[in-house]
Amino acid sequence: MAEIDKDDLISIIEESYDVEDVPEILPLMPVRDVVIFTDMLLPLFISRERSIQAVDKSLSTDRYLMVATQKDPSDEDPGPEGIYTVGTACRVLRMLKLPDGRMKTLVQGICKVRIIEYISDDNALMVRIERMQEEEIGQELSMETEALMRTVRDQSERIMAFRGEFSGDVGSILESIEEPGRLADIVTSNLRLKLSEAQELLEIEDPLARLRRVSDFLIREAELSAMQAKIQSEVREEISKTQRDYFLREQVRLIHRELGEADERTQEVGEYNKRIKKAKMPKPAQEEARKQLRRMEQMHPDSSETAVVRTYLDWLLDMPWSKSTKDVLDIKKAKKLLDQEHFGLERVKERILDYLSVRKLNPAMKGPILCFLGPPGVGKTSLGRAIAAAMDRKFYRLSLGGIRDEAEIRGHRRTYIGAMPGRILQGLKQCESKNPVFMMDEIDKVGSDYRGDPSSALLEALDPEQNFEFSDHYLNLAFDLSSVMFILTANMTDTIPSALLDRMEIIEIPGYTPEEKLEIAKRYLLPRQIRENGLKEDALILGDAVLKLIIEEYTAEAGVRNLEREIGTICRKAARKTAEGHKGKIRVDRANLSKFLGVAKFQPEMDKDENQVGLATGLAWTSVGGEVLYIEASLLPGKGELIMTGQIGEIMQESARAALTYVKANLGRMGKETSYLDDLDIHIHVPAGAIPKDGPSAGVAMITALASAITEKPVNQDIAMTGEVTLRGRVLPIGGLKEKALGALRGGVTTIFIPEKNRKDLAEIPSALKRRIQFIPVKDVDEVLEKAISEDILSAAPPAPKAVKSTKKKASS
């Protein structure tokens, strides 16, 4: 509301108007967002056409008009239902027309009126009114009324004091008003009430009731004003405290400067400057560090932003931009160290020694990306440690298993709370070297979700053509990873993205043969477990025969992890006997082994005492090594349907259907009619039904099992076979030959049929394994059937396929 001159207000209060002069029919002017009370002066800016016409009508007669508040302030042309019926009869004191067509008026409230009816008029909106008579109050005011008026005056003065608007003149004006109704109207006109609340007060006719309602609003307003004043005071105090702290720190800094001493802030900045010089960073990183340091100098030392900048500078300066270890490239020493730490694994050791030799001749060579692929427990991680020791480099291991957030690799943006660099830069900082051996374990176990794909974030880090300027989200600067020797480990390649797999050099580490396991147990596992369990070196006697028995009957794995657990169990029980007072050496032999380890855990799945009809032995590759896969086939009355059970995958099911097709095509050679299987159902089952199985290499075994069931001739159970078979009986090559051979050896198999095209892979089979297993390369399935089944079941060569007459019409030219 616009300010009103004090003299005008006093004259309004002192002047009495004759309300009888107000005519019964008045032009109506609706107003928004304001309620006009009696004796209230209010300037109004008028822009609506009907309101301008109402003012013109008023000026052309007796200068009276009715002002009523509209219910919806956004309504541009309110009708009778959109205007409150109670308003104020006002007198237009001044009027000024503005150049833009609007009108500025000064109106004065005369009395409260109520609209009785609306009268149509071509120009202004006319209404018939009645004056609202307030109840008469005698000359002598009661004690309650006096107390209520004094309370309202005090509350008004308190509120104005909170706002800084109170003065002696205002107090005089309030004291000069002796009528309760006028006091209520004057106070209400200066309160910041909602439109509905002000209209409610306007419509109350009883002066005392209106004054009591005003008192309620004053109490609420006083509480709000006190709360507002408290908040403002606290803000001012906080600001003044911050300014005071700043001035005091500046004074302390000046005092230290005068004394020739450095304060904490100056010392911190100076220390950072020294570290920046000492770090020997690339030019972009150095410029960024100095930029952030200048920012920190201008900030308050206790602000959160200062802490963020300080943390960033610490990370930036702790990174090994120019720190590296000197490689020790003594090839003979490295070979000796690798042989001491690991038994076997000749191919892997050769590749590592090749790398060290090239590195010795060409120090500027970029670090390769090696991936050790093999089953668990074969020593992939320990090989990485051995490589670091052979080169005298720092070693860092990062387990990628279960990581799903891309920020784990590339870091978080600095805008996030608690942001940090990725695990790669964290490892380099921990190593304090830019050329460590960086091992990433379980690369095939990396997952992805809504937070990104970590394996995709590894593409840049693991590419020698790109990683010389690896960018981490936190540092946001290029860091050279080309000197890092990355070594990854995996159990399988199926789950590794092809783009990432293409950047690696895969080095397969197959499982160990029983002879290799025996040597590993004697050289490494047994001495380590004796030492870790607090036994003396000669306190436990565990012979080769017992170790072989543990390997064959208590473990069934490609690696040696479970073997070490079993040896550890024996050592713990020996330690307990020693602690209970046993004197002398503890000997473990075949007779008492079960007392230490219990009954044998692994026995052959199938009874191999005699050859059986419809049972063939296949071989399977898994991520934990090779295994024997038994395949059963049985014929039963039916309609020629094929039944497959044992949780067989789609590819294996297709192999079974292909095997059945081959058998049906060769029924004549097996001495059966071509319609022999029309009234029989064929059931193929792969035991261990709870384990999922898939792959095409069981085709040979399926054909052998079916041929045995049809001819009722048993299959030699000392023979295992592997290979994919075509419809014409050709045996196609397979993968994982060494793992499958080791699985066959654990299953007690002595002869293996392999595809002819896998003959070249025999060069990688250890000689000890070749001595225990006979490998027979075959080109087609006939060679397998002739030797695997005890009798010759094929009477003649396979018939040539008959030409099928086409039923399509020849297209005309």
Over residues 48-77, the pLDDT tens digits come to 888 888 898 888 888 899 999 998 888 888
pLDDT single digits (tens) 91-105: 998 889 888 888 899
- What is the structure's pLDDT at 68? 92
pLDDT at site 87? 92
Comparison of pLDDT for 395 and 624, the residue scoring more: 395
- State which H helix or E strand residue 776 sits in: strand 774-778
- Give the per-residue pLDDT at 86: 92
pLDDT score for 623: 64
Percent of the chain with pLDDT over 90: 6
Give the pLDDT mean for 284-304: 84
Percent of the chain, pLDDT > 70? 89
- pLDDT beyond 90 at 683: yes
Taking the C-alpha atoms of residue 558 and residue 743, their distance in angstroms, rounded to an integer, is 8
Is 790 noted as a catalytic residue in this protein?
no
What is the architecture, at CATH level 2, of domain 6-131?
A: Roll (2.30)
pLDDT at residue 806 tops 80: no
Range 197-208 average pLDDT: 84
Under 8 Å CB-to-CB from 326, ≥6 apart: which residues? 392
What band does 805 get if pLDDT is binned at 50, 70 and 90?
A: very low
In the residue annotation, 675 being an active-site residue is answered as no
- Per residue in 248-264, pLDDT (tens digit) is 777 776 776 676 655 66
- Nearest CA among 364, 271, 366 for reference residue 314: 271
* pLDDT at 266 > cutoff 70: yes
Q: How far apart are CA 358 and CA 363, in angstroms?
A: 8
Q: How far apart are CA 406 and CA 392, in angstroms?
A: 31
Domain made up of 514-597: CATH architecture: Orthogonal Bundle (1.10)
Say if strands 126-131 and 25-31 run parallel, antiparallel, or are unpaired: antiparallel
- CA 642 to CA 697: how far, in whole Å? 19
Those residues with Cβ within 8 angstroms of residue 772's Cβ, 6 or more apart along the chain or in another chain: 745, 750
More confident: 736 or 756:
756
Q: Which CATH superfamily is domain 331-508 in?
A: P-loop containing nucleotide triphosphate hydrolases (3.40.50.300)
Cα–Cα distance measured from residue 587 to residue 570, given in angstroms and rounded to the nearest whole number: 11
What would the mean pLDDT of 417-436 be, rounded to a whole number?
88
Number of Cβ within a 10 Å radius of residue 246: 12
612-788, which class in CATH? alpha beta
pLDDT given at position 801 = 44
The predicted pLDDT at position 256 comes to 66
Task: Give the lowest-confidence range in 211-215, 400-404, 684-688, 780-784.
Answer: 400-404
Q: Could you identify the residue written with the tokens 């694994």?
A: 345
* Catalytic-labelled residue, pool 57, 517, 693, 740: 740
Average per-residue pLDDT in the chain?
81
Q: Are strands 470-471 and 478-479 parallel, antiparallel or unpaired?
A: antiparallel
pLDDT at position 221 is 80
Nearest to 316 by CA among 284, 289, 293: 289
Annotated binding site for ATP: 374-381
pLDDT of residue 608: 56
Given this chain, do its domains 6-131 and 612-788 carry the same CATH topology? no
Query: Which residues participate in the annotated binding site?
Result: 374-381
Six token digits for residue 471: 């960018």
For residue 648, pLDDT beyond 60: yes
Task: Tell me which of 238 and 81 has the higher pLDDT.
Answer: 81
Predicted pLDDT of residue 136? 65
Annotated catalytic residue within 697, 708, 713, 738: 697
Over the stretch 105-136, which tens digit does the pLDDT of each residue have? 999 888 889 999 988 776 778 889 998 877 66
User: Which pLDDT score is estimated for 755?
Assistant: 92
Residue 793 reports pLDDT greater than 70 = no
Which position has the higher pLDDT, 790 or 560?
560
What are the distances in angstroms from CA 214 to CA 146, 180, 572, 615? 15, 11, 89, 102
Domain spans of the chain, in order of start: 6-131, 264-318, 331-508, 514-597, 612-788
